């Protein structure tokens, strides 16, 4: 199967790399920058070009340019019935269809950055013109870089953007906060980083293996009146949980706002 990428940014490189490792795909990346094309060809061993070659109905094209650049990038692009996958945030299937001359064979995808190491989460939504075979193709492609979650309604793309799409940034924020706390307690930079990473990694592994509710796991290490209890009570007093929920809601609202902006263009 031919899989073409329009755009050679980090997410395109991550997905392309996953497909190359999995095998069974002929991967081609179109990117305007000559230096980046050379690097992608060298590092991934894929075909590259400045523009996409002519497409056929048997091909898959993945739109991986920035949302604000998508209309220009798609100008003059003839899909010729190819399956279109889009990893651009905020661009609805209707908007993409308008950019692409009316095609409805579209699957929208919201991946996240851990896709670059094969541990991504991708939310997928199939437009009305994509059939079951198209859904299976999109799923196979994205499972090359992690797990997939199908969404019944396109509006849910905003919600998954707020949770898993932007979620790695929240984790990095918390990692940095814990590292800063470690530094404040006298650990050096290397120790603070190591302690923070190992704590997150161990806690996630324990949660995965135990299958217990996250709240129960927290209670298991929070004896009333003890040291952990004091930390958790401080988090509650500072409304850390509520702040995270509010942050996710703000992310979702911004995604909805962007969709309206792009849809009006």
143 contacts 115 by C-beta, under 8 angstroms: no
| Same domain flag for 140 and 207 | no
The chain-wide mean pLDDT, for the chain, equals 96
pLDDT at site 146: 97
11 labelled binding-site residue: yes
Residue 91, marked binder: no
Q: Is 1 annotated as a binding residue?
A: no
Tell me the mean pLDDT in the region 29-53: 96
Which residue from 153, 78, 94, 160 is spatially nearest to 129, judged by alpha carbons? Answer: 94
7 is in an annotated binding site: yes
**18 in a domain, yes or no?**
yes
Predicted pLDDT at 261: 87
Q: Is residue 29 part of a domain?
A: yes
Average pLDDT over residues 26-54: 96
Query: 27 a known binding residue?
Result: no
- Residue 167 marked as a ligand binder: no
Q: Do 53 and 91 fall within a single domain?
A: yes
pLDDT, position 151:
97
Q: Band the pLDDT of 133: cuts 50, 70, 90.
A: very high
120 and 227 housed in the same domain: no
Instruction: State the virtual CA torsion across 213, 115, 90, 41 in degrees, nearest 10.
Output: 180
What residues make up the domain containing 52?
2-154
Does residue 13 form part of some domain? yes
Tell me the pLDDT band of 143, cut-offs 50, 70 and 90.
very high
- Considering only CA atoms, give the Rg of the chain: 21
CA atoms within 13 A of residue 226's CA, in its CB half-sphere: 7
Q: Confirm whether residue 197 is marked as ligand binding.
A: no
pLDDT of residue 264: 67
What is the pTM (predicted TM-score) of this model? Answer: 0.91
Has 6 been labeled as part of a binding site?
yes
- Assess if residue 77 is contained within a domain: yes
Q: What is the mean pLDDT of residues 196-224?
A: 97
Which pLDDT band, with edges at 50, 70 and 90, does 262 fall under? confident
Task: Kindly report the number of other CB atoms within 10 A of residue 199's CB atom.
Answer: 13
Please say if the pLDDT value at position 265 is more than 80: no
Given a contact cutoff of 8 angstroms between Cβ atoms, the answer to whether 62 and 85 are in contact is: yes
The domain total for the chain is 2
Q: Are 147 and 43 part of one and the same domain?
A: yes
Residue 84: CATH number of its domain: 3.40.50.720
135 & 51 share domain: yes
66 is in an annotated binding site: yes
């Amino acid at each position: 199967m031919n899989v073409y990428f329009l755009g050679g940014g980090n997410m395109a490189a991550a997905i392309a790399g996953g497909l190359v490792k999995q095998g069974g795909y002929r991967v081609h990346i179109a990117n305007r920058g000559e230096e980046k094309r050379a690097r992608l060809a060298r590092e991934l061993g894929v075909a590259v070009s400045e523009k996409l070659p002519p497409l056929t109905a048997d091909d898959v094209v993945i739109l991986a340019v920035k949302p604000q650049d998508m209309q220009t990038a798609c100008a003059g692009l003839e899909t010729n019935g190819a399956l279109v996958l889009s990893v651009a945030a905020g661009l609805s299937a209707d908007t993409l269809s308008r950019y692409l001359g009316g095609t409805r064979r579209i699957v929208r995808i919201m991946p996240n950055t851990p896709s670059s190491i094969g541990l991504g989460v991708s939310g997928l939504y199939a437009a009305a013109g994509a059939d079951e075979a198209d859904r299976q193709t999109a799923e196979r492609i994205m499972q090359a870089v992690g797990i997939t979650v199908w969404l019944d309604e396109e509006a849910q793309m905003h919600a998954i953007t707020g949770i898993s799409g932007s979620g790695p940034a929240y984790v990095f924020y918390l990692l940095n906060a814990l590292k800063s706390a470690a530094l404040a307690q006298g650990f050096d930079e290397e120790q603070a980083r190591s302690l923070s990473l190992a704590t997150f990694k161990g806690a996630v592994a324990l949660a995965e293996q135990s299958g217990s509710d996250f709240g129960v796991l927290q209670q298991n290490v929070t004896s009333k009146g003890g040291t952990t209890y004091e930390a958790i009570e401080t988090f509650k007093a500072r409304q850390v949980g509520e702040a995270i929920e509010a942050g996710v809601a703000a992310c979702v609202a911004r995604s909805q706002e962007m969709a309206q902006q792009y849809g009006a263009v």
